[in-house]
Amino acid sequence: MRYISTRGHAAPQAFCDILLGGLAPDGGLYLPESYPQVSRAELDAWRQLSYADLAYEILSKFITDIPVADLKALVAKTYTAEVYCHTRNGGDAAQITPLTRLEDGLYTQELSNGPTLAFKDMAMQLLGNLFEYVLDKRNESINILGATSGDTGSAAEYAMRGKHNVKVFMLSPDGKMSAFQRAQMYSLQDANIFNIAVTGLFDDAQDIVKAVSNDAVFKAKYKIGAVNSINWARVAAQIVYYFQGYFLATKSNDEQVAFAVPSGNFGNICAGHIARQMGLPIARLVLATNENDVLDEFFRTGVYRPRKAVETSITSSPSMDISKASNFERFIFDLVGRDPAVVRELWARVDKGEAFDLSATVHWQKMPKFGFASGKSIHADRIKTIRFALGRYNVMLDTHTADGLKVALEHRLPNIPMIVLETAQPAKFEETIREALGTEPVRPADLAGIEKLPQRVVVMAPDVAAIKQFIVERV
């Protein structure tokens, strides 16, 4: 299997060659040159498999440059009940991503049972093991630099802690994350993890990462890398739980399901789109946004109009706060019949800060066959849905999953199970849960009192030169 760029001007690459990089050299995103197809016989056989065995079967269609035994071992050590131990609502940890039944034909799928209680662990844990494996083989090292306002940074740190040849430098806005999120990251004592609290906002931290990454000489000399959501291996890992959710919600492979996905950068739902392209019987993919409704607008109107994000203090589902959806280009590539010239033209506009409108094009006429629906949920909807789910189903939802359920209920299909992807646990968003329910969310027992653990973090001004120096002294 080889990987091509959505912009068509990069040489095809093998999986391990794109694993450690970000964008393709032409500015596009990598995708498989074609989507592997899953036969009915395979689907029938896969229904009986454990999560790790299913993950191996799916990933081996995308990863053909790691020996079978090695890939099997990497996947087996990633998807264990010990790593994904934070089940709730009576879920079976051995299933890794179990379903919670809300009512007949309506489920949540727990993707947030990993170490940081958010769905990013599903892919990031695999990425950690893949990075270590490939770097060991090649006798190389990498220094991951990132900026985080919460979920991504902690998932990256828990995936990379203690890994050979990997160091992580994670910038976060000083004092802007919740006490729980700070404790999650800053209490890590691993020698290869460096937390830098920048005196400023998330955007200041993000700007520093951009400035350092734009310095090509520094980047090459100090082997600076990233683990952001455009990383192909992250998308590939996420395909697996769509298959697992399908098998758990149905009795036979003649049935169809729908998924509702709380979306930000379009990474999670992009994996659902690919699962569907591979032949998984998904009748509908429901995209849910929060107040940052760039994607909802596109799926309703054909207009993609990136714009400044609404502040997190207003939205309360912070991991869906985006201005541009970084993985969206992958879907558009498929929608326009995989024509890189069209993608280049559309993104020339996006990169200038302009919108594009597909509504009057032949491409838009093909939308129905991709099976999407969309909707948005604002703070008041979120609060109402959290109350509703607890009252009606006795299930406590986090703020992102509440956005998903709100929109899912608007787009159910008769006689087709709807699976709402649970992207985080309520324990991560105590403040909003308190606002909605007047009570504290349940926190997994092993995370009780983590705010009291010693913390390992340095506070620095948002000064590019000083942060470069900090990195140089530690790599």
Ligand X SMILES: *Cc1c(COP(=O)(O)O)cnc(C)c1O
Tokens of 43: 């689907």
Q: How far apart are CA 475 and CA 470, in angstroms?
A: 9
The region of 55-63, 216-224, 266-274, 355-363 touching ligand X under the rule CB under 6 A is 266-274
Residue 268 interacts with ligand X (CB under 6 A)?
yes
Q: Do 78 and 126 contact (CB within 8 A), yes or no? A: yes
Number of amino acids touching ligand X (CB under 6 A): 17
Residue 168: CB atoms within 10 Å: 25
Helices (H), 317-429: 328-335, 340-351, 362-365, 367-370, 379-393, 399-410
Residue matched to tokens 């083989």: 137
String of contacts with ligand X for each residue 281-300, x by CB under 6 A = --------------------
Question: Active site includes 251?
Answer: no
Structure token digits, residue 96: 């890794």
User: Which residue of 262, 340, 375, 462 would you call a contact of ligand X, by CB under 6 A?
Assistant: 262
In the complex with ligand X, the residue whose CB is nearer, 238 or 253, is 238
Query: Helix or strand or coil: residue 318?
Result: helix
Task: Show the binding pattern over residues 94-133: x = contacts ligand X (CB under 6 A), - = does not.
Answer: ------------------------xxx-------------
**Which of 128, 153, 173, 267 is the binder for ligand X (CB under 6 A)?**
267
137 sits in the region (left: phi over 0; alpha: psi -120 to 50; else beta) called alpha
Active-site entry in 72, 77, 120, 223? 120
Nearest-approach distance from CB 368 to ligand X, in angstroms = 22
CB of 330 to ligand X, least distance (A): 12
In order, the DSSP letters of 100-145 are EEEETTEEEEE---STTSBTHHHHHHHHHHHHHHHHHHHT--EEEE
Q: Interface residues for ligand X in 134-173 (CB under 6 A)?
A: 151
User: Is 95 or 319 the residue whose CB approaches ligand X more closely?
Assistant: 319
Provide, rounded to whole angstroms, the least separation between the CB of residue 474 and ligand X: 28
Interface with ligand X, residue 266, by CB under 6 A: yes
CA pseudo-torsion sign 72, 125, 467, 26:
positive
| Closest separation in Å from C-beta 422 to ligand X | 9
Instruction: Figure out which of the listed residues 7, 376, 400, 443 binds ligand X, where binding follows CB under 6 A.
Output: 400
Binding to ligand X by residue 229, rule CB under 6 A?
Answer: yes
Q: Which of 28, 264, 272, 462 binds ligand X (CB under 6 A)?
A: 264
Q: Is 223 exposed, middle or buried (0-12, 13-18, 19+ CB in 10 A)?
A: middle
Looking at the Cβ atoms of 6 and 316, the one nearer to ligand X is 316
The position carrying tokens 């609290």 is 197
Q: Tell me how far apart the alpha carbons of residues 372 and 281 are, in angstroms, rounded to a whole number.
A: 14
Chain residues in the site for ligand X (CB under 6 A)? 118-120, 151, 229, 262-268, 319-320, 400, 423-424
What is the set of active-site residues? 120
